Amino acid sequence: MKLFTKKIWIQYILYTFLTLIGNISFLAMSYSFAYIIDKAIVGDIISFMYWSIASCLFITLHLFLDYVSEIILNSAIRKINVNLRKLTSNNTFGDIYKLTLDSGEFLNLNSNKITQFETLYFTNVFYFTKNFFALILAFSLLAYINWMAMLVILLLSIFVVLSPFLMSKKTQNIIEKANKKNDTFLQTVKDSFNSYWTYWCLDIVEKLGNNINKDSEELEKENQRMRNIITTNSFINEFILFLGQVLLIILFSLFYLKGIITSIGLITTLYTIGSTYVFFGNNSLKSLLKVVSFTKIFKKEFIVKDSDLNNKKINKVVEFETICYEDLTFNHPNNSEKVIENFSLKINKGEKILISGKSGVGKTTLLKLLFNPYSRKSGKLKVNETYVEDFDLRSVATYVDQQIVLNKTSIMENINVNKKRVDLDKINYYLEALDLKKKVDSLPNGLDSLLEDNISNISGGEKQRLSIARALLSEKTFFFLDEITSALDKKTAKKCLDLFLKDKNKTVLMIVHDLDDSYIRMFDKVINL
């Protein structure tokens, strides 16, 4: 994905052009100082007024173009930030389910790090171009005015540019450490917020605050180190800058005494150009160093890390009669112990299969592996008696997790997630079948009612049934169901089970506890782990 789109390139070129014209205007203003002062000394009022007015016009044009160019830069940065978040989403949420970030890292990547790259990377790409051309213009004018003055400014500017160059590597390392601490802190904050009810029940709420405070202390230590190195950079830079300006005045005055410079007005011109475009022009090198330093970090954080994985094509199952899993083996990353070993299963269309066993034996792991066999370590797959390397069942199947996720949006948006058109008849049918209709109708805005933060305006059972409604409204025919009745009373649980087990068109793999014998007999196969 290209971050610099055609529109951004146009804005970049326009920004460069406007700042170039603006810098020419500033140099023209600086050069006019010599005439203003010299004409004032000789008493040439008309020429003095002419150059004074011209100087005011030059600086006005410079400031206006600088303002417009910053507006263009802001627009370009907005587009780049949007593209960065798109890139982050594409890298994280792919057709192949594989998470490489924890939630804290993902939050930081979409907020703090994008702001950081805006300030320290992309903005400096624009600033480097602006300052680079300014330096070329400034030295060209200095060479035209007095080559010795240009040589002096050039020599002094070398000392100015050394400080950011020498400190860039150390600054980069400290910023990387601060970023890692920020990832950890955001994860702690998220976990603490989600654990409030649990810790409150255990009467250890103070531990949540202690966890946040502990990580906050560690984060701010790294942030302080980062601020200190930035402050040190600024101090060294400003010391050399201001000392250099004093030396310029001394040297140019000495040039005047020796007759190298014959105009008092030129001293002001040379000083203005030298201090503004050479000493403060070291921003060009600083910008370049920041771009170079953060290129490595940028590629690490935002460039696609596994292009083969993202480009890999997996067979999408659009219809099936049989699906076979042969000798599947699975173990968790960084753990050699096999959770599932040499597991085989044949699923016929319309079959109902129950997975049972004690807690901790790997029922959920198996169910997820059957839904997403890409994560297996070994084993073969067949669809309609034909061997395939991998397959994607999501066109015909859906997975209902025991860990229910509903977003802080309306009920309609939560249960109708994959449709553009709203089929109210079908929605109302499933809400009625799941005993949710009365609850939804009792809310202020019905289906358009917003679920509150932490989903506190509905019960756990209602939350579970909304996730079931979402699965049924997907119009899939193959269902992987993980403890979908765990928060329901027996009467409501039976209604939910009937929707799946009594429909001959539905293929079902289910994990469920405490089933009546009458329901167990409805399954074609029972897998005991």
> Could you give the domains of the chain?
322-528 (3.40.50.300)
Strands 352-356 and 507-511 turn out to be parallel
Query: Measured between alpha carbons, how far is 168 from 163 in angstroms, rounded to an integer?
Result: 9
pLDDT (average), residues 469-474:
89
pLDDT at position 482: 92
Of the listed ranges 192-196, 450-454, 521-525, the one predicted with least confidence: 450-454
Band of the pLDDT at 268, cuts 50, 70, 90? confident
pLDDT at residue 179 is higher than 60: yes
The residue type at 448: D
pLDDT at residue 9 is higher than 50: yes
Measured CA distances, 313 to 48, 207, 307, 309, 524 (Å): 75, 47, 12, 9, 33
Query: Measured between alpha carbons, how far is 465 from 444 in angstroms, rounded to an integer?
Result: 20
Nearest to 277 by CA among 409, 402, 137: 137
Query: Measured between alpha carbons, how far is 185 from 216 in angstroms, rounded to an integer?
Result: 7
Torsional sign, CA 318, 321, 327, 333: positive
Residue recorded with tokens 């289910």:
510
pLDDT at position 453: 63
Query: Measured between alpha carbons, how far is 251 from 525 in angstroms, rounded to an integer?
Result: 95
Between helices 103-110 and 147-194, what is the axis angle to 10°? 140
Of the listed ranges 151-155, 282-286, 369-373, 445-449, the one predicted with least confidence: 282-286
Numbers of helices and strands, H then E, in the chain:
18, 11
pLDDT at residue 301 is higher than 90: no
Do 216 and 186 meet the contact criterion of CB atoms below 8 Å apart? no
Band of the pLDDT at 313, cuts 50, 70, 90? low
Do 367 and 511 meet the contact criterion of CB atoms below 8 Å apart? yes
Band of the pLDDT at 1, cuts 50, 70, 90? very low
Q: Which residues lie below 8 Å from residue 186, measured CB to CB, with a gap of 6+? A: 103, 104, 105, 107, 108
The pair of three-digit structure tokens given for residue 13, joined into one six-digit string? 């070129």
Of the listed ranges 137-141, 207-211, 289-293, 370-374, the one predicted with least confidence: 289-293
329 sits in which H/E element:
strand 322-330
pLDDT at position 120: 76
Strands (E), 401-488: 478-482
pLDDT at position 293: 67
Query: Measured between alpha carbons, how far is 403 from 364 in angstroms, rounded to an integer?
Result: 11
Nearest to 183 by CA among 112, 265, 231: 112
pLDDT at residue 444 is higher than 80: yes
pLDDT at position 61: 96
Band of the pLDDT at 159, cuts 50, 70, 90? low
Phi, psi of 336 (to 5 degrees): -80, -10
pLDDT at residue 306 is higher than 60: no
pLDDT (average), residues 341-361:
89
Q: Counting beta carbons within 10 angstroms of the beta carbon of residue 28, is it exposed (0 to 12), middle (13 to 18) or buried (19 or more)? A: middle
Strands 352-356 and 525-528 turn out to be parallel
Nearest to 324 by CA among 338, 339, 343, 341: 343
* Portion of the chain with pLDDT greater than 90, in percent: 23
Mean pLDDT (the chain) is 83
Q: Which residues lie below 8 Å from residue 116, measured CB to CB, with a gap of 6+? A: 175, 179
Band of the pLDDT at 404, cuts 50, 70, 90? confident
201-217: per-residue pLDDT in tens? 677 778 888 888 888 89
Angle at 51 between CA 46 and CA 55, to 5 degrees: 150
Do 450 and 479 meet the contact criterion of CB atoms below 8 Å apart? no
Band of the pLDDT at 53, cuts 50, 70, 90? very high
pLDDT at position 227: 86
Band of the pLDDT at 455, cuts 50, 70, 90? low
